[in-house]
Chains A and B, each alone.
Chain A
């Protein structure tokens, strides 16, 4: 894959100090995303990695303005092309969604409207944003379906989602997301609901589309395999904060944060001796400490020091590479 030099172009999306707090009436507020900052440059693929509950999906929904209206507070900025997405009016944000920024979701079957044909669902986006008539949009929809690798696209236009296989559905969703040539695509675990061979196909397709069109891609996943194959930059999230960032080569060769190391070690290996147990990261997110006065990961950390439960670790590094740890693997730099 072509290597995009980091820091060269102006960022397309600059997220700064994003905080999302869920507050239900009479209950303690819960901060799902706690000061996340990252940049996405045109044509770049940025990964957000972490286990369930680390805030990666909430981050993407907050950027897209898709969080429920009530019960949450979003702070910080997400500058896209000079405009702060988080302070846009709902209707201005609607005009952006689908046209400039699109999103692909995890479960392709439930993400498609079951009573509307694939063709209608693809043309709907183009009618909405490009002002095309349905008649003019239909041949374009067929082209799109062909571009995402759906065989016999004309016949598929009149199919309903349940008549397509899982891989085809995800391709159709990608076609819908790409219908108006968005400059940024957010993929929220796009391969989780698919079997392994289809996963590889969909990832290859995404990679190809990103390279061809220069679309920037934010890849949200818990699967480090996906990250290794696709992302230029990787952000590891834990408890709503980015705990480590790096280029994919650097991160995989020399992970610094004990959580990143834990994630890498928990991947099953083909070359490991038979019968060897998998090594999960011990404990669960429920053990987290509040970031304000400690490192949230401390209770699960093999490298834990006294200071980890007394002070919040700061960011050690810069915009491109760095980690948030008192006692990183391989010692302090």
Chain B
């Protein structure tokens, strides 16, 4: 076969022979694992190359993407206006407080005759907004405090960390509950602020710890030995290297923020406006009919769990991919 192949090399372009294709395939396999040798492959890129092949990450990513897309397009996707009450005429407070599924209303309606599917879809928006913004603000606050403490050290570090310790010593939900109840008129911003405040000490402590580890690291000593200025040391040599665990924590925190937001609005501390549905709020309203219509609670609760699972799976596999010790 090799003889024939060599004898026909000067022929016009033709399909590569079986042997050529096989060799090419093996070559591709042989170099598949050596991403580290390509020029310019950063740690983040090689983490991504590993993540791409991790089924756990892909499942988490799929769940997250599905819910984010649903939240974005829900106003157009929802079959009914979430505030309209198309099934109001079927609500019988005594015999049938919660109308069941019927054509056009696959999940039925709630106790006021509003289409449940539409409210779930539109509700994803509020829930995700609260989760994402709460985590974002918590992350920002934590970044500022953690960088300050880790970079300055001394009394700044002591002061920031004592505040953080005090905040961490209060159970997080209780603290969020307390902060949220301070608001005069509850809204989703109450939830965002309350949950963000609870997350700040977690991020601050995490970042401070990894900043301290960076501060005593050899490469920071080496940078200092070359006269690099303190500001550049903090922002170019310490912070980027300290961010890994914080980013992972942010992904995991999204799940916690969503659950906490649901818990707070379940307790009536969220947006009381029922024209803006939210899963936690729906869950709270469903309590009155938990024995007659458990599905009313089941659907929003299920959504919360699945979204939280999506973020957790993503965060966990991100942690694994960025952790050099768990690399296979």
Contact = CB atoms under 8 A, between A and B. Distances in A.
**Binding between chains A and B:** yes
B227 A111 contact: no
B228 A98 contact: yes
B232 A124 contact: yes
For chain A, the bracket of interface size reads 35 or more
Contact of B37 (A95, A163, A179): A163
Contacts of B221: 66, 105, 111
Contacts, number: 89
Interface string B22-54: 000000000000001101111100000000000
B222 A64 contact: no
A242 to B, nearest CB: 23
Interface stretch (A19-27, A113-121, A304-312, A316-324): A113-121
A162 interface: yes
Q: How large is the interface on B (under 10, 10 to 19, 20 to 34, 35 or more residues)?
A: 20 to 34
Contacts of A102: 225-226
Contact of B219 (A94, A114, A155): A114
A46 interface: no
Nearest to A100: B227
B241 interface: yes
A64 B223 CA distance: 12
B243 to A, nearest CB: 9
Contacts of A97: 224-227
B212 to A, nearest CB: 12
B218 interface: yes
B222 A173 contact: yes
Contact of B241 (A103, A113, A162): A113
B237 interface: yes
B46 to A, nearest CB: 9
Contacts of A112: 219, 222
A159 B42 CA distance: 8
A128 interface: yes
Given A114-B241, A115-B240, A176 B226 contact: yes
A115 B242 CA distance: 10
17 contacts: A95-B227, A106-B218, A110-B217, A110-B219, A111-B222, A113-B219, A113-B241, A114-B219, A115-B43, A116-B236, A124-B228, A128-B228, A159-B40, A160-B41, A163-B39, A177-B225, A179-B226
Closest 9 CB pairs of A and B: A98-B227, A98-B226, A97-B227, A110-B218, A103-B225, A111-B222, A111-B218, A94-B227, A113-B219
Interface of A: 64, 66, 94-99, 102-103, 105-107, 110-117, 124-125, 128-129, 155, 158-160, 162-163, 173, 176-177, 179
